[in-house]
């Protein structure tokens, strides 16, 4: 077995540690001199989000040993712990995704076929949509996605090749020049520390936690037009101008019952709150009107009917992210439909999550009050098509998200810290209008270092800094390997929305299939570089190595270009 030896920080002088390269298993030991448990592996992934899971699979299938951490007790990020049904493009069933992402989706459908009493009609659907939601062709329960992800990873766990450390948050890192040597994670319940060592690290956290800890150069918020030249960039940069996060929650409807909750503590505040945005928000946040994302200066009316009945031309918010449609299951299996509430009305407008731990907790607590206020408003004041007000049969669906209050284990973060990368994807590369202005072309930039593909509108939600929606069309794009390479740090890779994109282009890289592709490419890159005894940067910049890497990932089911013919 190949081994790497160096002096390990925190041990007595002269004590050496061995790093296995492509080891068979992770190794643990108690470090009596440092007082911390130590874990050594080929690859450490901090964060257990969707991209992190893909990164783990990409590395594990190439023979690496992997340690992955997770702040909660659910891996899967936005698909599971955050309660966000897949946001995907229109070609997703046949193209524009990696082989393993498609396997994930197929396994979710098959989980329902194998374990649930579906109706004959639902069981026969090739593209089963358990919730019959309109946001996606595959709206499903977060717990089903969690079961499938655990199943995909379980062979590696059983073989000792993967160790998942739950309830762990990164709190410190040791670096040596341009390399990360170790990361310390804290048990969020006990405070116990674990010291993680590896030749390579991946940041799969929702907020880009490793970037400040390792000293990696990063950006947040909005770049200015003078910095990026982007068509829709503002004149002045603002690092605090980040999209609102959302604390999603699950509701079910019990017709004829009264489940009205006690009036929330902060209801009067949220009932009268109007987001101070430019262009202006049309009225109160708790209403069925909001700014049209495509034309923010125009109001748009939404509908709501928890029995799934018609709301005319208005989008029925109940159906939009519905994850259980009871008519897909045998009578009596589900008492009613279940819908995930991730709407404009519960986008949190009062602050960002990338500050101190206390600020994080305060904003999440306030977001919980916003959710309760929205629920109370829906139960008591929401206008009904019959002229009445309120749907008192609505109630929190406690089992759906694995919490005792029906709310997600972790907030849905749309935007976080982003690495300053070797290459940054700009609006001119993928935005339809900007691309035409710059190049006269109706196709996205052809990155020669492509490590994947994606497609989603440049969809930016409003911000606590008072900027309203931006939603413009993008083109089917490639994911350049250069966007995964930090400007300086040699052995740290991003696995999600923390790659080299701007505030604007983040809007179409942050969704499920693109995040999975980013993470899977990062895991593959880590394994490829370690086996070739080189760095990710060298792989990208050496034409021969780059060609070998791209051929390798294509064989493993990662598409590097679009074929829409």
> DSSP readout, 474-508?
B--EEEEGGGGSBSS-SSEEE-STTSSB-TTTHHH
Distance of alpha carbon 85 from alpha carbon 105, whole angstroms: 11
Distance of alpha carbon 391 from alpha carbon 189, whole angstroms: 38
Q: What is the pLDDT of residue 565?
A: 77
Helix (H) or strand (E) holding 5: strand 3-7
**What's the pLDDT tens digit per position in 152-174?**
999 999 999 999 999 999 999 99
The residues, any chain, with a CB within 8 Å of residue 123's CB and separated by 6 or more, are 113
- Taking a C-beta distance cutoff of 8 angstroms, is the pair 537, 485 a contact? yes
Q: Which of 460, 463, 468, 466 is nearest to 431 (CA)?
A: 460
Torsion (CA) 443, 445, 447, 450 in degrees, nearest 10: -50
Task: Compute the C-alpha angle 526/532/533, nearest 5°.
Answer: 85
The residues, any chain, with a CB within 8 Å of residue 100's CB and separated by 6 or more, are 54, 57, 58, 152, 516, 520, 557
Report how far apart, in Å, the C-alpha atoms of 385 and of each of 43, 340, 393, 447 are.
56, 22, 16, 51
Distance of alpha carbon 66 from alpha carbon 59, whole angstroms: 8
Distance of alpha carbon 128 from alpha carbon 21, whole angstroms: 42
Helix (H) or strand (E) holding 57: helix 50-60
Give the pairing type, strands 218-219 and 66-70. unpaired
Helix (H) or strand (E) holding 531: helix 512-531
Q: What is the pLDDT of residue 35?
A: 59
Q: Which of 288, 317, 311 is nearest to 301 (CA)?
A: 288
For 401-436, give one letter per residue: b (16+ CB within 10 A) or e: bbbeebbbbbbbbbbbbbbebbbbbbbbbbbbebbe
Q: Two tokens at 291?
A: 């700014």
- Taking a C-beta distance cutoff of 8 angstroms, is the pair 182, 197 a contact? yes
At residue 432, what are phi and psi to the nearest 5 degrees?
Answer: -60, -50
Distance of alpha carbon 246 from alpha carbon 244, whole angstroms: 7
**Three-class DSSP category at 111:** helix
Q: Two tokens at 345?
A: 């009305």
Q: Whose structure tokens read 């929650």?
A: 249
DSSP 204: -
Report how far apart, in Å, the C-alpha atoms of 2 and of each of 5, 119, 533 are.
10, 55, 10
* Reported pTM: 0.94
Distance of alpha carbon 293 from alpha carbon 316, whole angstroms: 16
- Taking a C-beta distance cutoff of 8 angstroms, is the pair 200, 526 a contact? yes
DSSP 141: -
At residue 104, what are phi and psi to the nearest 5 degrees?
Answer: -55, -45
DSSP 421: B
Q: What is the pLDDT of residue 28?
A: 59
Q: Which of 501, 424, 506 is nearest to 457 (CA)?
A: 506
Q: How far does CA 69 lie from the centroid of its chain?
A: 15
DSSP 77: G
Distance of alpha carbon 77 from alpha carbon 160, whole angstroms: 23
Length of the chain: 565
Q: What is the DSSP string of 341-383?
A: E--GGGB--S--SSS-HHHHHHHHHHHHHHHHHHHHHHHHTSB
Torsion sign, CA atoms 228, 232, 234, 237: negative
- Taking a C-beta distance cutoff of 8 angstroms, is the pair 224, 216 a contact? no
Q: Whose structure tokens read 């206008």?
A: 383
Residues of the chain scoring pLDDT < 70 = 1-35
- Taking a C-beta distance cutoff of 8 angstroms, is the pair 561, 100 a contact? no
Q: What is the pLDDT of residue 9?
A: 28
CA end-to-end span of the chain, whole Å?
47
**What's the pLDDT tens digit per position in 385-408?**
999 999 999 999 999 999 999 999
């Amino acid at each position: 077995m190949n081994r790497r030896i160096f002096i390990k920080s925190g041990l007595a002088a002269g004590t050496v540690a061995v790093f296995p390269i492509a080891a068979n298993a992770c190794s643990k030991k108690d470090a009596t001199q440092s007082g911390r448990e130590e874990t050594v592996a080929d690859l450490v992934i901090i964060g257990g989000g969707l991209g992190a899971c893909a990164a783990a699979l990409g590395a594990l299938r190439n023979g690496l040993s992997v340690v992955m951490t997770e702040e909660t007790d659910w891996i899967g990020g936005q698909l599971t712990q955050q309660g966000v049904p897949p946001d995907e493009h229109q070609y997703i069933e046949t193209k524009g995704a990696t082989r393993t992402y498609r396997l994930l989706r197929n396994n979710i459908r098959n989980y329902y076929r194998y374990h649930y009493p579906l109706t004959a009609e639902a069981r026969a659907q090739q593209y089963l949509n358990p919730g019959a939601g309109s946001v996606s062709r595959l709206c499903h329960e977060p717990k089903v996605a969690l079961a499938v992800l655990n199943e995909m990873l379980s062979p590696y766990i059983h073989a000792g090749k993967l160790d998942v450390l739950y309830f762990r948050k990164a709190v410190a890192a040791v670096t040596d020049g341009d390399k990360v040597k170790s990361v310390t994670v804290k048990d969020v319940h006990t405070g116990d520390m674990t010291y993680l060592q590896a030749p390579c690290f991946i940041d799969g956290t929702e907020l880009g936690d490793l970037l400040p800890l390792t000293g990696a150069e990063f950006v947040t918020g909005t770049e200015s037009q003078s910095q990026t030249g982007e068509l829709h960039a503002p004149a002045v940069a603002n690092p605090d101008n980040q999209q609102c996060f959302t604390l999603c929650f699950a509701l079910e409807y019990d017709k004829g019952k009264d489940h009205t909750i006690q009036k929330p503590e902060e209801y009067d505040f949220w009932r009268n709150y109007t987001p101070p945005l430019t262009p202006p928000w049309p009225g109160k946040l708790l209403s069925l009107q909001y700014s049209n994302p495509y034309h923010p200066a125009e109001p748009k009316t939404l509908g709501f009917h928890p029995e799934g009945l018609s709301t005319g031309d208005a989008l029925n918010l109940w159906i939009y992210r519905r994850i259980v449609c009871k008519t897909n299951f045998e009578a009596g299996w589900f008492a009613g439909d279940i819908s995930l509430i991730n709407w404009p009305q519960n986008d949190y407008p009062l602050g960002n999550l990338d500050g101190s731990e206390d600020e994080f907790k305060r904003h999440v607590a306030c977001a919980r009050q916003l959710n309760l206020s929205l629920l109370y408003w829906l139960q008591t004041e929401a206008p009904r098509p019959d002229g009445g007000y309120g749907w008192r049969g609505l109630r929190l669906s406690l089992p759906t998200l694995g919490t005792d209050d029906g709310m997600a284990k972790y907030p849905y973060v749309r935007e976080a810290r982003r690495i300053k990368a070797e290459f940054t994807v700009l609006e001119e590369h993928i935005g339809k209008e900007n691309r035409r202005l710059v190049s006269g072309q109706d196709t996205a930039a052809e990155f020669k270092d492509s490590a994947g593909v994606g497609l989603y509108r440049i969809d930016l939600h409003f911000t606590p800094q008072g900027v309203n929606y931006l939603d413009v069309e993008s083109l089917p794009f490639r994911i350049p390997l250069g966007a995964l390479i930090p400007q300086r740090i040699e052995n740290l890779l991003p696995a999600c929305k923390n790659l080299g994109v701007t505030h604007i282009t983040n809007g179409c890289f942050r969704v499920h299939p693109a995040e999975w592709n980013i993470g899977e490419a990062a895991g593959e890159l880590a394994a490829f570089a370690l086996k070739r005894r080189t760095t990710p940067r060298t792989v990208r910049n050496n034409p021969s190595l780059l060609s070998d890497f791209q051929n390798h990932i294509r064989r493993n089911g990662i598409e590097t270009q679009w074929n829409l013919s």
